[in-house]
Amino acid sequence: MADGREILYFDETSVTRVATDDRELPHTTTASEARFDPLLGEWVVFASHRQSRTFLPPADLCPLCPSTAQRATEIPESGYQVAVFENRFPSLSTAAANTAATVTGSPLTPLRDGFGRCEVVCFTSDHDSSFAQLDPARARLVLEVWAHRSAELAGLDGVAQVFCFENHGEEIGVTLSHPHGQIYAYPFVTPRVAKISGNLARYRKAHGGNLFGDLLETERAAGLRVVAANAEWTAFVPPFARWPYEVQVFPHRRVADLPGLDAAQREAFATLYLDVLGRFAHRFDTPMPYIAAWNQAPTANSGAPREDWWLHLQLFSIRRAAGKLKYLAGSESGMNVFISDTTPETVAAELREVFR
């Protein structure tokens, strides 16, 4: 790209691409840093330069649409299937040094530069589409992209975890309405994955089994909270769901990360995921805002355990009823104790009824 960032195109069949980015752009710089919270044992990222990032532009100024003769965008080509590029306003960057120190005046607070990588994944060139409207072939291609980028980023020295996700809907905090997701390559293992990993180890020591596998087996056997399933995947509302509408999607055969999925699992995921997204889109009069979050194992270079990790997707919405959103109030935001206005069993039944 004009400022030195990398862009990649992914297509179902071979395409010759010759467009160039002729914009006059300043070199991308970041002011990110990560500070360690010694009370919670978690890293917090500060990225003050992101205050100036693009915020809800009109459709005719969307930076993720293909470029035209009249307007150059982030994507130089006049059309594309799936495009991936380095974020212009990244929270983390490989340009940052991966050095450690402490915060000035606070020796109890370790400090490190904002090393990592943030990528944008555009699912389609159609501005007015959504992931739920993709056909299975395109959804499969996006999965291939997630797997490809996960493998590439996991191989970077200093990357401990790769996180592929999509924020959908203005209510969820989306600042660009074009169908897209993001990928973060963290220099540390995230709090969620670290906590789950600890519980996996304790469960194996106490019961001799895999916590993920036993959870999946019991949910498939009960069927009470299963929303949809096929030969390779099951989507169910977890019995401990925190969000008003939450579904977790597990492959029946354990793999640690997206690159580990075989051809049958990849093919079957596309159809099941589109089914579940369709239920989220049609549960109410308008599509639900949601976050789709891939939970992958830490990278092989992280030093963290991977052997018990079971890849899964967490899909959740903050909509609790028609015209009503779930806000994280005192208990949730202050103490991280979620109080739900729905029950997992009712939500699963409601989602099963969609399309009947």
CA distance 138 to 220: 28
Q: What percent of the chain lies above the pLDDT cut of 70? A: 99
225 domain-assigned: yes
Report the mean per-residue pLDDT for the chain: 95
- Tell me: pLDDT of 86 over 90: yes
Q: Which pLDDT belongs to residue 26?
A: 84
Mean pLDDT computed over 18-29: 87
CATH of the domain at 133: 3.30.428.10
For residues 177 and 266, state if they share a domain. Answer: no
Query: Helix, strand, or coil here: 147?
Result: helix
- Tell me: pLDDT of 50 over 80: no
Q: Which pLDDT belongs to residue 355?
A: 85
For residues 225 and 96, state if they share a domain. Answer: no
Question: Which residue in the list 168, 180, 207, 282 is annotated as catalytic?
Answer: 180
Question: pLDDT tens digit string along 278-287?
Answer: 999 999 999 9
- Tell me: pLDDT of 236 over 80: yes
Q: Tell me which of 48 and 305 has the higher pLDDT.
A: 305
- Tell me: pLDDT of 133 over 90: yes
For residues 228 and 266, state if they share a domain. Answer: yes
1 domain-assigned: no
Contact between residue 45 and residue 91 where contact means Cβ atoms under 8 Å apart: yes
For residues 203 and 344, state if they share a domain. Answer: yes
- Residue where a domain stops, chosen among 162, 191, 220: 191
Query: Helix, strand, or coil here: 258?
Result: helix
CA distance 299 to 295: 12
- Sorting pLDDT into bands at 50, 70 and 90, what band is 52? low
- Residue 122 CB neighbour total at 10 angstroms: 24
Mean pLDDT computed over 135-158: 98
CA distance 344 to 245: 8
CA distance 349 to 242: 17
For residues 149 and 238, state if they share a domain. Answer: no
For residues 163 and 218, state if they share a domain. Answer: no
- Sorting pLDDT into bands at 50, 70 and 90, what band is 223? very high
**Count: domains in the chain:** 2
Please name which of 290, 294, 288, 292 lies closest in space to residue 350, comparing C-alpha atoms. 288
Q: Which pLDDT belongs to residue 246?
A: 98
Q: Which pLDDT belongs to residue 1?
A: 95
For residues 268 and 340, state if they share a domain. Answer: yes
Domain that residue 122 falls in = 7-191
Question: pLDDT tens digit string along 95-121?
Answer: 887 788 999 999 999 999 999 999 999
Q: Which residues contact 269 (CB under 8 A, 6 or more apart)?
A: 139, 140, 143, 232, 233, 249, 251, 261
Contact between residue 277 and residue 355 where contact means Cβ atoms under 8 Å apart: no
User: Could you confirm whether 148 is annotated as catalytic?
Assistant: no
138 domain-assigned: yes
